[in-house]
Amino acid sequence: MHEEQYFLPASETRGPLRYMTILEAMASGTATLGEIASKSGLSSSELPKYMRTLETLLDIVERRYPC
């Protein structure tokens, strides 16, 4: 990852380290919410709020559905 990809504006996010942990889990190849939660150390119940922020507010990730 490039250095600028590590920047998450504090005004747009809370707990930037949690977001970085999620992004690092995804970069290592995890794809499902369960895998991401397990790899990042977050619970399956709290992960969706962070994913929603990464997807809608920051436009960093994209949700994909199997065909």
For residue 62, being part of any structural domain is answered with no
For residue range 35-61, list pLDDT tens digits in order: 999 999 999 999 999 999 999 998 999
For residue 43, being part of any structural domain is answered with yes
**Domain span at residue 48?**
13-57
For residue 2, being part of any structural domain is answered with no
Predicted pLDDT at 64 = 85
Who's near 12: CB < 8 A, 6+ residues apart? 53, 57, 58
The answer to whether 49 and 63 are in contact (CB under 8 A) is no
Predicted pLDDT at 47 = 94
Predicted pLDDT at 55 = 93
For residue 1, being part of any structural domain is answered with no
What's the CA gap between 47 and 28, in Å, rounded? Answer: 17
* Domain count of the fold of the chain: 1
Query: ∠ CA(56), CA(57), CA(58), 5° rounding?
Result: 100
Predicted pLDDT at 37 = 96
